[in-house]
Amino acid sequence: MEGRVIKSTGSWYVVKTDSEFISARLKGKFKQEDLKLTNPIAVGDWVTLSKEENQETAIISAIHPRENYVIRKSTRKQHFSHIIASNVDQSMLVITMKKPRTSLGFIDRFLVSTESFRIPAILVVNKVDLLEGEDAEDWLLDIHEIYEPLGYQVIEISAINDKDLLDKFHPLLQGKSTLIAGHSGVGKSTLLNKLVPEASQDTKEISGFSAKGVHTTTFAELFPVKGGGDLIDTPGIKEFGILDVEDYELSHYFPEMRKYLGECKYNNCRHINEPGCVVRKKVEEGYIHPYRYQSYLNILNEEDSYR
């Protein structure tokens, strides 16, 4: 049989096939790809599996090549990667101005991460019902003005108040696997509850094994969406990793800097204070947003991060 992994608890996986949900595991040693991975199988993986004699559980015998994957942030020293999810068509970052406030730096780190995995990103501004006054207007305007010209769609919602949430999300989600992320408290669960049919939310309980005592909060989970598409929830995952890159390559993941690729005097320019730096010049001329440039410098200076 073929199926897609929709949940993982570390050693058991829930796989969705054409006809059922089945608990599956790997047998024996499993051949890893080139990455040093702490988990051989991730949510989103397409796998080949066969039923065990009991007919209730299955053994995974092969994993289909991944189109892409997202890893969790780890440190350089660890040299290991934990795959959060694979075969992701797009990502949505839920952000809020209040309760809690999402910083622009956090948004930028998320976008650099998804750029590095070549996954398009949409910003979902939640809790717009709380946005009143000039400060809020300015913040919202900044979000639109900074991110839309870079190619990131920005949508505004109120997960608790909007009556037309499904209509809003249907055209975005249909036919795609969408990774959804955000700080805790931004309203991800509220949103998910409205987009995912109740029956699917229950499947986490009815899979044929007991996950009791298993720490599952940092594992992703895939849910079908009402009207088509899948959402991959990432509970408890604070930050995503960035694919291994040299310093001078970081700007490739900033679309507004990538534009000037090859124009700086030195082709390994880090755009800090090198002579003949075109990116730096574009910042000074106002073509690159100063916040974004600051985020770029901050990420560049994160010694510890896995890049």
Q: Is 23 annotated as a binding residue?
A: no
d(CA 116, CA 8): 24
Residue 102 sits in the site that holds ligand GDP (CB under 6 A): no
Q: Is 128 annotated as a binding residue?
A: yes
Residue 130 sits in the site that holds ligand GDP (CB under 6 A): yes
Binding partner of residue 61 among ligand GDP, Zn ion, none, CB cut-off 5 to 8 Å per kind:
none
Q: Positive or negative CA dihedral for 290, 295, 296, 301? A: positive
Residue 95 sits in the site that holds ligand GDP (CB under 6 A): no
**Contact predicate 237/294, CB 8 Å:** no
Binding partner of residue 264 among Zn ion, ligand GDP, none, CB cut-off 5 to 8 Å per kind:
Zn ion
Question: What residues are paired with 47 via a beta bridge?
Answer: 3, 63
Options 8, 81, 116, 126; binder of ligand GDP; rule CB under 6 A: 126
Number of residues counted as binding ligand GDP (CB under 6 A): 15
Tell me whether residue 133 or residue 262 sits nearer to Zn ion (CB atom).
262
| Number of other CB atoms surrounding residue 144 within 10 Å | 13
Residue 218 sits in the site that holds ligand GDP (CB under 6 A): no
Return the ∠ at Cα 28 (arms to 23 and 34), rounded to 5°: 100
- Residue 258, amino acid: R
Which positions from 232 to 271 touch Zn ion by CB under 5 A, shown as an x/- string? Answer: --------------------------------x----x-x
Residue 132 sits in the site that holds ligand GDP (CB under 6 A): no
Q: In whole angstroms, how close is the CB of 93 to ligand GDP at the nearest point?
A: 11
Stretch that binds ligand GDP, among 5-13, 47-55, 62-70, 126-134 (CB under 6 A): 126-134
d(CA 260, CA 276): 12
Q: In whole angstroms, how close is the CB of 295 to Zn ion at the nearest point?
A: 16
Closest CA to 107 of 254, 272, 271, 236: 254
* HEC string for 193-218: HHHCCHHHHHHHHHCCCCCCCCCCCC
Helix/strand/coil for 88: coil
d(CA 174, CA 230): 8
Tell me whether residue 197 or residue 276 sits nearer to ligand GDP (CB atom).
197
Can you give the binding site for ligand GDP, defined by CB under 6 A? 126-127, 129-130, 158-160, 182, 184-190
Residue positions forming the annotated binding site for Zn(2+)? 264, 269, 271, 277
